[in-house]
Amino acid sequence: MMSSNRRGRQSPGSSPAELPATPACPTPTVVATLPTLTVSRRADGLVALSFLVPDHRQNVITPQVLIDLASALDLVEKGPEPTGIVVVSNRPGSFFAGADISRLELLTQGTAASIEAVCAVGRTLLGRLSAQPWPSVALIDGICLGGGLELALACDLRVSTTNSATLLGFPEVKLGLLPGWGGTVRLPRLIGPGPAVELAASGEQVDGLAAARVGLVDACVPPEQAFAAAQILIERNTASGAYLQRRKKLAAPLPLDPLEREFLESTATAVILGRTGSHYPAPLAILRTILDGLDLDAVAAGTAEGAAFAALASGPVAAQLVRVFRLGERNRQDSGVAHASSAAQASTTTREIHRPAVVGAGIMGSGIAASHLRAGFAVALCDVQALALCGSVAGILDEAAWDRATKRSDPARSLALAGRLQTSTQLAAIADADLVIESVLERTDLKRQVLAEIERLVGPTTVIATNTSTNPIAKLAGVLADPSRFCGLHFFNPVRRMTLVEVVRGPATSDDTIATAVAHAKRLGKCPIVVRDSPGFLVNRLLMPYLHEAVEMLREGLEARRIDRLARSFGMPMGPLELYDMIGLDTAFYAGMVLNDAYGDRIDPSPVIPALVRSGRLGRKTGAGFYHYARPEGPGGSQRARIERPDAGVAAVLEPYALPPRASDDATIRDRLFVPIVLEAVRVLEEGIVRDGRDVDLAVIHALGFPAFRGGVLAWADTLGAAEILRRLKPLADLGVRMHPTASLVEMARTGSQFTACHHPE
């Protein structure tokens, strides 16, 4: 997507090596103190606009910020005339993290005209900053995203720091939006159309050095040199007038050669559709807005940008993605414990974990250990099998040192992390741990034996957790003298990529244990959701009817590729039969036994999965399951296996278990896959498996890949309505109890209640 690399020329003297230190300057004089910023003037005439937005963890652009920026410009314009303006943050680690999300949520509820008017107000204000007769510099130390980057782009020059917290980008696309205050206008004129499309349409962030390489900033220096660098850039640009020349260039059209434009448009479109499957309109809108804006002057391009932003913001996808973002924000602030009173909240103790340990060096245990190393912990890993333990180390270090930017493991980082991984075949090595995560085989008897031994070895305050997808916490806790410090920590495979962690509360689990486990999962960069102990917990219980129905349709003679294709067209990352193969049919069989025992009244055990297991078809790991796979050589080859074709031998396995064919169009197949998930979610809410219904939507998005543009399973159900769900279930009633509505669903249809309203007030 970077096929066109033309960009605006950087101003003279922009190389960090050419920015010498400046003499010390007397303490600046405060000109005005406004609610979100301070205006100060130095003796040399340099004016600083220093932002600190109260009542937020990071600086965000609120209506008050815009009011204060306008007032500050009024003050500066009244004189005396400054030598230049430096826009800076007084909040460590945060220049501006973008717009206030609550304000953005309200914005998406407005009309296209009202949204477009808001865009015009912001563009006009930033245009006023960029039109001042003196040069301006944005000093970026910390997060600089969205509207914050648009503010920085409205300045003539930008200085970023080498601080690891300094990240620049346009994440609007992840909310179904595009930059609306001139970002699509200024960015391509500054760094070139190709890089601009890639940055804005991907939503990725770049650090200060990378920003300097592409010309997004004019200098990248250590934080302590940043203000001096800004001063030098102002002095040099004032003397040369280079900033005025750049302004003219950025304001003028920048038409592409027709062949260059056609190539950029076609290649970028292909990449975008490959990433989004055409479900997300924002990336293509960004591409079109940038390309069309190049043929216009900056003012006209800004007006077109505002119209494009309004069209997206008033649409359903943006509304759902903003809601999902809000669910994530709520989760990040949630302690995992609901308190009836402030006194109860005060009595809960959340301990910070310093010495984690993992027992079991299989796929999941290794992934959990790598996740701890990646998060900066030293971790002890125990396994009685010496060969398994030794064989896991290289993979753990590679996983922990994975570099998202290069999409490969960093050997130097892997070597550096090696000293933080302690391995032992003796369980006594975990004696001083303050958290132990058991991750041995999914055999109840083995887990109970290991957990009892862990409790005997560790201190009385150590939190003990089990990584299990099926074993009831209450049953495992039965061997412990103090079950109050025991909970489930269910990670999903592959651990590095899957962000959800189910924190499972057993009957005796204390609030302190839950709060500590939730806080620790967040330190690992995970999204923890607290669930009540029950077979399948939350995610596997919702997954069960989806997988089961796919196999039933296969037994009726439908093609595997068709079933999976329709699931992907709905927005799922892979179809249910592909997912079966990835999980492993043997793993699915054992998990299914637990779920069938619990919910067999509505889900009859399928004979197909055990028959496939008996035939040796276990999925990707054996190269054959529902599909036949071409498996690359080397470590992790099974996870990278590529589907070649449906496995020809599956038909013979299915034949004894064939069901009468049913007439099924595409819409019916989709309903059979996804409406049962809604039914199971309703039962989950009825039984109080989650503390809040919004956790259901967050869980299916993070763990099952349920399409975020649909907002989660409950949000999707709301787009249909309970009455429509009943209508779609009616022709499927002969399939059995699994397609029969619950009493509460019938009541919701009668009253017109919403699925997403099933949560506790906050």
- How would you class 341 by CB atoms within 10 Å of its CB: exposed for 0-12, middle for 13-18, buried for 19 or more? exposed
Find the catalytic residue in 56, 279, 490, 760.
Answer: 490
Q: Output the six-digit token pair for 96.
A: 């501006």
Q: Are 108 and 118 contacting, i.e. CB atoms less than 8 angstroms apart?
A: no
Q: Identify the CA nearest to 699 among candidates 495, 526, 546, 453.
A: 526
Q: Are 713 and 704 contacting, i.e. CB atoms less than 8 angstroms apart?
A: no
Distance CA 684, CA 404 (A): 36
Q: Output the six-digit token pair for 199.
A: 């940055």
Q: Are 595 and 603 contacting, i.e. CB atoms less than 8 angstroms apart?
A: yes
Helix (H, G, I), strand (E, B) or coil at 658: coil
What percent of the chain is helix, strand and coil (3-state, nearest 5)?
50, 15, 35
Q: Output the six-digit token pair for 288.
A: 């079109």
DSSP H/E element including 94: strand 94-96
Domains and CATH numbers, the chain: 16-308 (3.90.226.10), 352-533 (3.40.50.720), 540-756 (1.10.1040.50)
Mean pLDDT by 10 residues, the chain (762 residues): 41 36 60 96 94 95 96 93 96 93 83 93 96 96 97 98 95 96 97 97 95 97 95 96 95 95 96 91 97 97 97 94 93 81 65 97 95 96 95 94 84 94 96 97 92 97 94 94 97 93 97 97 97 93 94 96 96 95 88 80 84 92 89 54 83 94 94 97 94 94 96 97 97 94 95 82 40
**Per-residue model confidence (pLDDT) at position 345:** 57
Residue-wise DSSP of 439-506: ---S-HHHHHHHHHHHHHHS-TT-EEEE--SSS-HHHHHTT-S-GGGEEEEEE-SSTTT--EEEEEEP
Strands 157-161 and 136-140: parallel
Q: Output the six-digit token pair for 680.
A: 């199971």
Distance CA 633, CA 296 (A): 52
Helix (H, G, I), strand (E, B) or coil at 531: strand
Neighbours of 112 (CB within 10 A): 16
State the residue for tokens 């920590």.
489
Long-range contacts formed by 27-34: CB under 8 A, 24+ apart: 31/75, 32/71, 32/72, 32/75, 34/68, 34/71, 34/72
Distance CA 416, CA 74 (A): 53
Neighbours of 666 (CB within 10 A): 11
- Per the annotation, the verdict on 372 as an active-site residue is no
Q: Are 348 and 335 contacting, i.e. CB atoms less than 8 angstroms apart?
A: yes
Cα dist from 566 to 42, 87, 574, 582, 700, whole Å: 64, 51, 10, 18, 18
Residues pairing with 49 in the sheet: 39, 87
370-375-376-379 Cα dihedral, nearest 10 degrees: -40
Helix (H, G, I), strand (E, B) or coil at 628: strand
pTM of the prediction? 0.89
Q: Are 157 and 243 contacting, i.e. CB atoms less than 8 angstroms apart?
A: yes
Distance CA 710, CA 321 (A): 8
Q: Identify the CA nearest to 384 among candidates 302, 329, 446.
A: 446
**Per-residue model confidence (pLDDT) at position 639:** 56
Cα dist from 573 to 268, 408, 576, 710, whole Å: 21, 22, 10, 13
Measured in degrees and rounded to the nearest 5, phi and psi for residue 159 equal: -120, 120
Task: Give buried/exposed letters for 214-224 (b at 16+ CB in 10 A, else e).
Answer: bbbbbbbbebe
- How would you class 734 by CB atoms within 10 Å of its CB: exposed for 0-12, middle for 13-18, buried for 19 or more? exposed
H-type alpha helices, 253-381: 258-276, 281-293, 298-313, 316-333, 342-347, 363-374
Q: Identify the CA nearest to 536 among candidates 480, 586, 490, 583.
A: 490
User: What residues have CB less than 8 Å from 306, skipping those under 6 apart?
Assistant: 116, 119, 120, 123, 180
Distance CA 179, CA 119 (A): 9
